[in-house]
Chains A and B, each alone.
Chain A
């Protein structure tokens, strides 16, 4: 590979945004190589033999060259290829470094020089891909094998590779949308490990990186086969078998002796992590049938910082309630045990038919897992998950003009979350939380069958694609928020007196059994409108069945309001047009301009459907207590916490699933030897985001607070706690929160990415990428609500003065700045060892100055109220001096997400040193230094004020005066969630 190609290669390998041509091939998982074999006079050579060899697997494929010298490989797995052509009377030619990318049709002309026999020389040349090196479109980032194996990583999951792009995180959160809007596709079929509705999206643990040859991040690719996601798809290409047997293995280790942190003591408790795996690939029938078989096992023990420090609480719990909370104050260990096996069989059934079958299975067991910043620190939790995925792709070349891809898959996923320990507890004034997260417990199962047939037809300059698909998932969900109960106390004194707030969902929890199949069809045309100018126009139409018959009707609610908890809708229809164009300026592969746009719809959220089934029938009801609870850690009795009524979730007949319309454009320039420039811009508009409103909130306020904030119900203060008297804020007695999910939410994203790659000599490669973006929405996602439905309510349900929607503003997922800097230094004096460094930075997440959990300033049942920024409150001068974001907010209710937590930086290093050769198997030593730049992350203390427990709330007329004092901890980390920095050593054999 020449230097320029290397420079491009590392850029693409690093997954940086690369503007490149629109996918003009017809498969989303395969690329196309085509061209003409010519003699040196430019005449087509009849009867030439042409072979392509996959560089990674060594597998050969032979083309049939037509009488006009034309050859074509319509459905090649992506990778780096070598093209070899020969003909009698000509010197053979080998062209190396030919990139095959999904969705890209690459023209590779082959010119053979005449020679007299015997011919002993093979002409060898390197393909000059220019801007076609790797990317598939402005919507996608190509992750080459280099990414998957050579970069220092913290997560061996497939989706984790997205962390090195500058528009996504490892969970695929990005472009202003949460992780749940994106997903993983394996060999073109979407896979969906079942998610817990209140916890961070689980990574695709069933799919370890070694199972994949490459991956592509598709941010709204225009191809009509992409469906089911309103965010991005991380498309993984499973590893194929090799022409010769190959055995690879790795083993690495880290432990408490190799880790440290400036934020917490990592060696306070013994921990160690060991990971290992083996991959065997080889032929069954050479060049006909090949296999890949792998296994990975990991036991990861991660130190987790103590959540908080408060001796008073620990002593109270120990002395008064015989409960030991000290473990929450010390470094603890989260353990993950994971075993995954995978395999793939590729079989060239005939010259025109190939079959690829792959299967994955993983079993995860997480103990005392770090549940993320949105959940309570929970000790005693146990997560058991298993994921099985099997898929098959039958690729057929029916005729020179017609080919077909038939994909089929089956997926079985299960997840069980359990926990022991005290009920989830917040002590608001102390800023401490402990116990079982109220949303944690649940059992989830998913079974899905997917079938898609795509027919591709060439006609003149047109390439038509049409097909149909069925995606039939079914779910079994047993989960209800607050099953285990949740306490909130105003402060240590109230905790000792057991005076506070309690809520619990009680009753026989039914298992929701839901089936929501989707049927779709698609049609797409791609044609060369002019030389170097390709256009794509397509559309797909999907019908998703709403499991109406599975959803219950709450007759009491219907009688009281006329609203049926069953939406009475049988299907959702989705029309998704797609367009795109690429312009290879001058057809010189030097400058490439691409534009694309399309509509992308998601699918029904099984968590919402599960909640509707579990809670709408009326057998599960919510009970609440406020004041003297006379119990902790056991739940109060029904006298202290009587039943209020069921908590319902409703979808209206106008319900829709989220839909994204995304437009992107990019320019890619190959500026010279080892110097590449990429500039991408994207605009995304997502609507039909579900916004939650409380239909059972009092139809109007009962008064206001001292700042004019509308108050619902009767506010009761208990120390630092403030809550509405249970039932006092309800419109209809006999019901708790009744959520309507209205599809009137939207999100707008603008992003601009500049990426520069540079090779300096042969030993240093540099990449710099920066994305600036802006995301606004009116969608209160409940990002830190831990699944609490009340956390998604608007604090101003009737709007601000003038009807203005307070919710409209900076998105919870707005991360305006992301930077990646990477360098790869080859150390010739150290046997060609590689030193790879990756620096990443992202802006902190925004947050709204407000109150802590346990302070419901407006009495609507949620602690999500913005503070009125009053610089006359005691202690505010010091707080404002430290937080400049507050200065523009004085005299008003804080705007949504007016402040932002500090940015997060990371620096990872890997030194890979070749050592000895063990009987033909090279052994290398790897030393990883992970997270050298630590950032103090966790749940930010958003409370601008605390409720002053030394003063009482008073009401005069309709105005309630809540005693407030400034919170000096505002903006600091409240519940720490940092990771340690550590050194990891490993050995790799033949990797």
Chain B
């Protein structure tokens, strides 16, 4: 082919190509503005769901960025040794942050809060996300169904105080939420006032024969909300004496209960010296019931009854009324009622 023909062909091909090509291809308006999404995954040791002093980053956590309303993962990241992750060049839009739970390695800890999981990212903007990883928080009644040794948080209102004075044992507290009550043992170095709303981390135990949450040694208590009017007295189960003996089949274990069939009759009394000091014990019988319920009055709580004086052996036959916490006796299925203070000894 002569040079002339070759150039002619090139020119013709170029002209036809230019004429037939879609000159507008690629001229597409898109949202090109990008921002940055970063954050920290931290081990929420106290279950507060906010990063508190002393809490450390959680490494190796897989984080996904999902465009709102879609199934698409826009970006992925893994937290570094400090628990920090960064996603650069994220297109503006509405997103949800999710954690790849497989990266938490097991079912011990969970993502309990992402602050904020759903957000709008504007161009040039940087969004910070805090991911709380902690042991799960469960409703109190769920403890009964958890496997032993499961570590969980519960949150509830303190039915009894923990102050080392030994009313319910040196380190035992009772907490209740709308679903039930639980006894928490091993609360060392803690101070709990009746009526506090607290979150407690513990491990599920059967101690000795009933489900109990054993607190970690370092378990801290966090005031969730100020106690309402009436404090713990707002959480009250009403049971007959016969029901109280079995804690209503165990459902009211550690609960604050009011005996509904009193005035009961005092059948016997005794002063017992226990490991935490002396206490006064009596058995009462509800109206129309043959079942005897043991009522235990700690000395610290004060031995007062409706008689206007401390009970004594001559109290047998008296009519008395109580509210209090049901605690196990050590015998499976048998509970004792422990008034917390003279005010639980009625009327």
Contact = CB atoms under 8 A, between A and B. Distances in A.
Nearest to A712: B69
A480 B52 CA distance: 54
Interface stretch (B2-10, B87-95, B166-174, B184-192): B87-95
Contacts of B71: 700-703, 958
Contacts of B74: 699
Nearest to B70: A700
A732 B26 contact: no
Contacts of B67: 698-700, 731
* Most A-side CB within 10 Å, residue of B22, B68, B124: B22
B108 interface: no
Nearest to A663: B19
Of B29, B74, B94, which is in contact with the most chain A CB atoms at under 10 Å from its CB?
B29
A744 B28 contact: yes
Contacts of A698: 67-70
Contacts of A731: 67-69, 93-94
A366 B303 CA distance: 100
A573 to B, nearest CB: 14
Contacts of A733: 94, 120
Interface-central residue, A699, A703, A712, A958, by most chain B CB under 10 Å:
A699
A604 to B, nearest CB: 15
Interface in B276-310: none
Most buried by A among B20, B32, B69, B94: B69
Given A562-B123, A744-B22, A748-B20, A695 B69 contact: no
A563 to B, nearest CB: 6
Contacts of A659: 23
Contacts of B53: none
Interface string A679-710: 00000010111000101001111110000000
A693 B19 CA distance: 25
A686 to B, nearest CB: 10
A650 interface: yes
B133 to A, nearest CB: 27
The winner among A652, A663, A700 for most chain B CB atoms within 10 A is A700
B25 interface: yes
Interface in B33-64: 33
B122 A687 contact: no
A729 B68 CA distance: 9
Contact of B92 (A561, A656, A730): A561
Nearest to A742: B28
By DSSP majority rule, is chain B's interface helix, strand, loop, or mixed?
loop
B31 interface: yes
A700 B72 contact: yes
Nearest to A699: B67
Given A729-B69, A731-B67, A661 B27 contact: no
Given A730-B69, A731-B67, A732-B93, A693 B24 contact: no
Given A562-B92, A731-B93, A742-B24, A713 B122 contact: no
A695 B32 contact: no
Given A693-B28, A701-B71, A732-B120, A562 B33 contact: yes
A337 interface: no
Contact of B33 (A561, A746, A778): A561
Contacts of A258: none
A560 interface: yes
A736 to B, nearest CB: 15
A468 interface: no
B28 A740 contact: yes
A743 B20 contact: no
A216 to B, nearest CB: 25
Interface residues of B, number: 30
A884 interface: no
A740 B28 CA distance: 8
Interface string A721-755: 00000001111110000001111111010000000
A702 B70 CA distance: 4
Contacts of A656: 23-24, 27
B122 A742 contact: no
Nearest to B16: A663
B94 A744 contact: no
A559 interface: yes
A459 interface: no
B27 A744 contact: yes
Nearest to B20: A685
A801 interface: no
Nearest to B34: A562
Interface in A730-785: 730-733, 740-746, 748, 778
A742 B27 contact: yes
Interface string A587-613: 000000000010000000000000000
A663 B12 CA distance: 13
Contacts of B25: 744, 746
Contacts of A778: 22
A654 interface: yes
B70 A661 contact: no
A743 B24 CA distance: 5
Contacts of B32: 562
Contacts of A712: 69
A654 B19 CA distance: 19
A699 B70 contact: yes
A688 B24 contact: yes
B19 A685 contact: yes
Interface in A424-456: none
Among the interface residues B31, B68, B92, B94, which one has the most CB atoms of the partner chain A within 10 A? Answer: B31
Nearest to B32: A562
B122 A560 contact: yes
A729 B94 CA distance: 12
B227 to A, nearest CB: 39
A889 B130 CA distance: 51
Given A656-B24, A742-B24, A560 B120 contact: yes
A426 B122 CA distance: 38
A687 B25 CA distance: 9
Nearest to B93: A731
Contacts of B124: 562
Contacts of A703: 71
Contacts of B29: 563, 650-652, 654, 693, 695, 740-742
Interface in A305-349: none
Contacts of A652: 27-29
Nearest to B15: A597
A883 B120 CA distance: 49
Nearest to A778: B22
Contacts of B91: 699
A732 B119 CA distance: 11
Contacts of B93: 699, 731-732
A745 B31 CA distance: 19
Contacts of A663: 19
Nearest to A703: B71
Contact of B22 (A695, A700, A713, A746): A746
Contact of B70 (A559, A560, A701): A701
Which of B68, B72, B122 gathers the greatest number of chain A CB atoms within 10 Å?
B68
A936 to B, nearest CB: 37
A700 to B, nearest CB: 3
Nearest to A661: B19
Interface string B134-150: 00000000000000000
B31 A563 contact: yes
20 contacts: A561-B31, A561-B92, A562-B32, A652-B28, A656-B27, A685-B20, A689-B24, A695-B30, A698-B67, A699-B72, A699-B91, A700-B67, A700-B72, A740-B30, A742-B24, A744-B22, A744-B24, A744-B26, A746-B24, A748-B20
3 closest cross-chain pairs (CB), A and B:
A562-B33, A700-B70, A700-B72
Given A652-B27, A744-B28, 4 more contacts: A562-B124, A656-B23, A740-B30, A744-B26
Interface of A: 559-563, 597, 650-652, 654-656, 659, 661, 663, 685, 687-689, 693, 695, 698-703, 712-713, 728-733, 740-746, 748, 778, 958
